[in-house]
Structure 1
């Protein structure tokens, strides 16, 4: 039987039952490396033009700075990032990159080394959606590493995918 949507905990627990990828969106902004970790990242929004999207809480203190970057690096987090996910997303911005290997493109887009997928993007559109904004990014460059597997956010935990089942 379906329950109502008045209980925020029930909504959160329900949404957590749907696995999603985890991406780090990053750039150098005013000389500082800036990163936002999103479990709402979606690829394949459009192939022509190539568009991806993610949702960000309106209360985010990182997105307003990152939104000013002319180019944003999107690194889909891989297995080698598993131990660093919570650090990358922590409130203490001064230690987010401790022990994390990165590279910066001339555009200012910042990427995490070892990502199975890396996309260089620009902000195309932002749409209000409840307590979040939906941000559509236009993909300007792509890179993949077939030797790395992506992490998955499921049941409020970081996991790896099992082998094929069908």
Structure 2
């Protein structure tokens, strides 16, 4: 039996996910950001989260070596930010984007549903991806608003 990767992808698309932009700083000081829908919590004690990053990502080296990163959970009105940080041009992603900086200095996107500043704890092999685990050091979240969702290959909204 041959494995149908398109069918596998379609099956996974039946699981709705939130969307986040994960940010860090490259060794040269330039901001780096990438859109992910593979973010989740790992542990409450200690507070750990994880996201997966493709080995072919242009930002692969920056995220696997940077000591810190931030997870910015997007709200339903932030599809443009999701699209922006999915582009190939790494610098164009930041044009006009408002950020603040917390303890580690990584960019925190303003206006997100929640943001978590993390220290990188582990990088694990995950086939054509790596699994990056971080310990949450600081966070902020909104009591209001709805998340930006991804379902069956398209953006979706809660009713």
- Give TM-score scaled by structure 2 length: 0.91
The correspondence of residues 26-65 of structure 1 with structure 2, limited to 5 A, is 26-29=23-26, 30-43=28-41, 45-65=42-62
Q: Secondary structure at the match of 2:65?
A: coil
**Residue of structure 1 in register with 2:21 after alignment:** 24
- Displacement of 1:107 in angstroms is 1.5
Q: Secondary structure at the match of 1:150?
A: coil
Q: Secondary structure at the match of 1:137?
A: strand
Tell me whether 76-85 or 30-39 shows the greater mean CA deviation: 76-85
Q: Secondary structure at the match of 2:94?
A: coil
Are residue 145 (structure 1) and residue 145 (structure 2) matched?
no
Structure 2 unaligned blocks of 5 or more: none
Structure 1 unaligned blocks of 5 or more: none
Are residue 90 (structure 1) and residue 91 (structure 2) matched?
no
Given that 1:5 and 1:11 are in contact with CA atoms closer than 8 Å, whether structure 2 keeps it comes out as no
- Displacement of 1:98 in angstroms is 2.2
Given that 1:58 and 1:133 are in contact with CA atoms closer than 8 Å, whether structure 2 keeps it comes out as yes
Candidates 57, 70, 73, aligned match of 1:73: 70
**Residue of structure 1 in register with 2:104 after alignment:** 107
Q: Secondary structure at the match of 1:52?
A: strand
CA distance in 2, matches of 1:42, 1:146: 19
- Give TM-score scaled by structure 1 length: 0.87
Q: Secondary structure at the match of 1:142?
A: strand
Task: Pick closer, same or farther for the CA change 1:36–1:96 going to 2, 3 Å.
Answer: same
| Equivalences, count | 158
CA distance in 2, matches of 1:103, 1:5: 48
